Structure 1
Amino acid sequence: MSNKYGKAKNYINGRLVETMTDRWMPVESPLTGEVIAEVAVSSKEDLDKAVSAAKEAFKTWSKTPIKDRVQVFFRYKTLLEQNMAELSALIQEENGKTLDEARAEIEKSIELTEFAVSLPQLTQGEILEVSKGVECRTEHSALGVVASIVPFNFPSMVPNWTIPNAIALGNTMILKTSELVPLSALKIADLLKQAGLPDGVLNIVHGEKEIVEAICDHPDIEAVSFVGSTKVAKIVYQRATSNLKRCLALGGAKNHLLVLPDANPEMTAANVTASMSGCAGQRCMAASAMVAVGQTDHIIEKMVQEARNVVPGKNLGSVISKAAKERIEGYITQAEKDGAKILLDGRNYQVEGKENGYYVGPTIIDFVTPEMSVAREEIFGPVISIIRSRSLEEAMKIENANPYGNAASVFTQSGGLARYVMENASAGMIGVNIGVPVPREPFSFGGWNESRFGVGDITGKSSIEFWTKLKKMTTKWNPEAGINWMS
């Protein structure tokens, strides 16, 4: 299996190309710890090549009618469906999630593409006679060359948050992959080429910090989207906007689930467990803190029972790297030292036959206090911290004191209490009896506070404003209409 996929090269102007640096990094499968590929480490000169190709392609692509542009994505959707098995297996191999989770990621990519093909109906502009003989109309114009910087945790879905919409709207794109999972993005590019996307419209540049900085600085890149940690999101947002670019940078999260005593025990236990352990907790919408309001021991007991059925190597995937495993287990150890009680311990887990894989078992930590590191910081693993509170008002203070704002959920059978949480939680996405309140298309994805920097959301209708600029045209042809203050 060693170096099974060979070299993951840059993809520029419709073909795989060597880098200027001839530097490579190993790509490990977190399932086994084995090297499955090498990924290029690019330079600013490599980015220049990609931008030049995108800039040239923009001349024709932006002038292609949107009804014609979206035909590429009709065909791409079919190719995603036809290649489901291969795409899912590739995600599992390079990211470590379960095969079911990988399939779900492709299903979501298909849904995102379905939204993109509806863009002609959503961007038709407006027209109105605003005065006698005077007509105003609007239309959406493409920005130019744009960039999308994507993380490791969703090798297909997050690139498909941006690629279909940005490109269908007439832009050309530079995609900067995570160096940990470069293979799925190259397969996406291959399928889009099969679907008829012209060369140069999508270009992929691999690399590390240097390429991210070069994207933020490049004078010919008009807009940058980023998904990753809050620390880096702030840096990208500040650097890109200081270079007068549009930027939408999505950061991390510390999502709180508020569990009330009247919550349905079975449904709550199942949803909370799935939220904290799905994708091995490596998603910005994962439940990482549970605020238990009042007498909820009966629900917590069911959670522990439910979580015991989540088994690494079977229905729980690996975390991304050895460093991630060590960091996650370090948080658990620190919580124990700080006086928290470990109800279920996922440390030092090994999967038979995959002893070198990076696995952490589901972990439930009780009696956590808000000042502990496991309560404040994003762990990005299958770990949930339980904070006890005496009232819903106290629970809301705990939730809203957290600096992030991706998601918050409440588990209750009371419509009034649910409405109170929905109105008062400081988060961009709210769930009621739902552990992962990700909106479905056409509703957009985006958090608040330190989970998002910039205006608007990255998917759905909200993304149209980010990926286009509005042109307003006022016309008058008939001199007999006379003159007023408008004309």
Structure 2
Amino acid sequence: MKYAAIQNYINGQFISSSSDRMLDVISPVDGSHLSTVPLSNNQDLDAAVQAAKVAFPIWSRTPIKERVQVFFRYKALLEKNLKELALLVQEENGKTYDEAVAEIEKGAELSEFACSLPQLIPGEVLEVSRGVECRTEHVPLGVVASIVPFNFPSMVPNWTIPNAIALGNCMIIKPSEKVPLSVGRLADLLQEAGLPAGVFNIVHGDGDVVNAICDHPGIEAVSFVGSTKIAKLVYQRATSTFKRCLALGGAKNHLIVLPDAIPSMTAQNITASMAGCAGQRCMAASAMVAVGPVDHIIEKLCEEAQKVVPGKNLGAVINRASKERIERYITEAESQGAKVLVDGRSPKVEGKENGTYVGPTVIDYVRPDMAIAQEEIFGPVISIMRTNTVDEALAIENANPYGNAASVFTQNGGMARYVMDKASAGMVGVNVGVPVPREPFSFGGWNESRFGVGDITGKSSIEFWTKLKKSTTKWNPEAGINWMS
């Protein structure tokens, strides 16, 4: 075991769980044993909630201009420790080093945005009647929780940590039990940046802790990122106890390719979107809808896909179960008549034979009714469906239940606008494989990719992590009595 047994982080200290249930943490890179993680219980969660409740009165009354100073320092610490943090992400998640670096850099960008919050949430004041003023201000909720997935061990936690805490809340985070190491290092850096004890806490565990978070009366709001199946359950359970909840689910992102698209740019962008982070991201290109004669672009796509080599510029998928599930989708589609143009099943990675890799896979002549065309694969696989018109392509995109992302590849501005207007997705792109907006624009999909109101990052997150207080004041008795009195 490379690392010491993982502990919870409560009230500024790493402490052992009161549970004796443990889970091995295995690196998907080479199958090595990294550590063990506790599957915590209600007693552990209660301790974290209590620590956060004790810290909340002082932290919430600290002026926001002072609170964000923590995140100025935290951003600098992320950058200072970038290499170490990236190597840790690579080790526990399996992505390439360059992808892990990009993840840490995005965390720094998210922290930078949090530092701008004092300029974004000043209250409004208006003299509504002679001598009478109305005022609004954003007030923190209290103790909040964030449940995060395995695919971005550092970045997705930073979707919520900086904004929620800078806005005055105290947080409990539940990392994925598959990748529990990175969040512990973030706790170290937050403490080094000057965050008071109890403001940020970590409780490790599995579904039992997720349910306990949804049920706990001391938690005011829950954010979740994961599969749509679990997102629905979390949203239903959390809101049934009258909590705020924003639960982000899965996706099936469609890239509509027109014949006039630039072949090299299109192929490079689709390949990067499909294979980046081994396809384990909710913004990955999963379905390409080819409109008319685009064989020249598909040929170029296959050439680009073959440049992506497992173990070199393509990372591993998270575990053996994921590898087997992804490869089953490919085999099933092939048996149903689809044509595998680039086959990534069972690649050999020298020196990493125990790693869990799937090579880039391009499948043509996929029908919309096939499972591979409808379900989230979460692997480096692109399914090509063929249509004759843009409206047919949009019908396929609109019929899918998800709504994270959609892109169109074309040089026709009018056609691009047409697709952007009609695509049923919260994030759309033109000639962009991964249309994720940069800060201060927020991240969030539609339909069954998101449950709840608002987005998880950017300006939209302010409404989720705060409540609005409205005050009316009158100081001059000579103003008289009117309907405002």
Q: What secondary structure sits across from 1:175 in the alignment?
A: strand
Q: Residue 350 of structure 1: CA displacement? A: 1.9
Out of 383, 386, 390, the position equivalent to 2:384 is 386
Distance 1:108 1:49 in 2: 31
Distance 2:107 2:18 in 1: 32
Out of 463, 466, 471, the position equivalent to 2:464 is 466
Give the stretch that moved more between structures: 156-165 or 32-41. 32-41
Number of the residue aligned with 2:125: 127
Q: Residue 22 of structure 1: CA displacement? A: 2.1
Letter in structure 2 aligned against 1:107: E
Q: What secondary structure sits across from 1:368 in the alignment?
A: coil
Distance 1:182 1:449 in 2: 30
Number of the residue aligned with 1:251: 249
Out of 33, 38, 42, the position equivalent to 1:44 is 42
Within 5 A, what are the aligned runs for 1:166-205? 166-205=164-203
Distance 2:254 2:182 in 1: 31
Number of the residue aligned with 1:78: 76
Number of the residue aligned with 1:412: 410
Distance 2:34 2:221 in 1: 33
Residue-by-residue CA offset, 1:22-81 (whole Å, 9 max, x unaligned): 221100000001111111110011100100001101011111111110010000011001
2:440 is the counterpart of 1:437 = no
Normalised TM-score (structure 2)? 1.00
Asked if the contact 1:9/1:40 (under 8 Å) is kept, the reply is yes
Number of the residue aligned with 1:377: 375
Out of 223, 226, 229, the position equivalent to 2:227 is 229
2:293 is the counterpart of 1:287 = no
Residue-by-residue CA offset, 1:322-345 (whole Å, 9 max, x unaligned): 000000000000001111000000
Number of the residue aligned with 1:351: 349
2:38 is the counterpart of 1:35 = no
Q: What secondary structure sits across from 1:140 in the alignment?
A: strand
Q: Residue 485 of structure 1: CA displacement? A: 2.3
Number of the residue aligned with 1:116: 114
Asked if the contact 1:445/1:458 (under 8 Å) is kept, the reply is yes
Q: Residue 405 of structure 1: CA displacement? A: 0.1
Distance 2:38 2:84 in 1: 23
Q: Residue 88 of structure 1: CA displacement? A: 0.4
Letter in structure 2 aligned against 1:406: N
Q: What secondary structure sits across from 2:34 in the alignment?
A: strand
2:86 is the counterpart of 1:88 = yes
Number of the residue aligned with 1:269: 267
Distance 1:163 1:389 in 2: 43
Q: What secondary structure sits across from 2:168 in the alignment?
A: coil
Number of the residue aligned with 1:476: 474
Q: Residue 244 of structure 1: CA displacement? A: 0.2
Q: Residue 479 of structure 1: CA displacement? A: 1.0
Q: Which consecutive residues of structure 1, in runs of 5 or more, have no partner in the other structure?
A: none
Number of the residue aligned with 1:97: 95
Distance 1:218 1:307 in 2: 47
Number of the residue aligned with 2:454: 456
Q: Residue 6 of structure 1: CA displacement? A: 1.6
Q: Residue 482 of structure 1: CA displacement? A: 1.7
Residue-by-residue CA offset, 1:246-302 (whole Å, 9 max, x unaligned): 000000000000000000001000000000000000000000000000000000000
Q: Which consecutive residues of structure 2, in runs of 5 or more, have no partner in the other structure?
A: none
Letter in structure 2 aligned against 1:36: L
**How many residues were matched structurally?**
485
Q: Residue 484 of structure 1: CA displacement? A: 2.3
Q: What secondary structure sits across from 1:351 in the alignment?
A: coil
Q: What secondary structure sits across from 2:138 in the alignment?
A: strand
Letter in structure 1 aligned against 2:41: S
Q: What secondary structure sits across from 2:255 in the alignment?
A: strand
Distance 1:41 1:403 in 2: 33
Percent identity at matched positions? Answer: 74
Residue-by-residue CA offset, 1:129-158 (whole Å, 9 max, x unaligned): 011110001111000000000000000000
Normalised TM-score (structure 1)? 0.99
Distance 1:91 1:283 in 2: 15
Letter in structure 1 aligned against 2:149: P
Out of 58, 66, 72, the position equivalent to 1:60 is 58
Letter in structure 2 aligned against 1:360: V
Letter in structure 2 aligned against 1:279: C
Letter in structure 2 aligned against 1:393: D
Q: Residue 483 of structure 1: CA displacement? A: 2.3
Number of the residue aligned with 1:239: 237
Asked if the contact 1:350/1:357 (under 8 Å) is kept, the reply is no
Q: What secondary structure sits across from 2:444 in the alignment?
A: coil
Within 5 A, what are the aligned runs for 1:332-347? 332-347=330-345
Distance 2:283 2:106 in 1: 15
Letter in structure 2 aligned against 1:448: W
Distance 2:12 2:348 in 1: 42
Letter in structure 1 aligned against 2:382: I
Letter in structure 2 aligned against 1:302: K
Q: What secondary structure sits across from 2:302 in the alignment?
A: helix
Distance 1:14 1:350 in 2: 44
Distance 2:326 2:116 in 1: 41
Distance 2:52 2:475 in 1: 38
Asked if the contact 1:277/1:382 (under 8 Å) is kept, the reply is yes
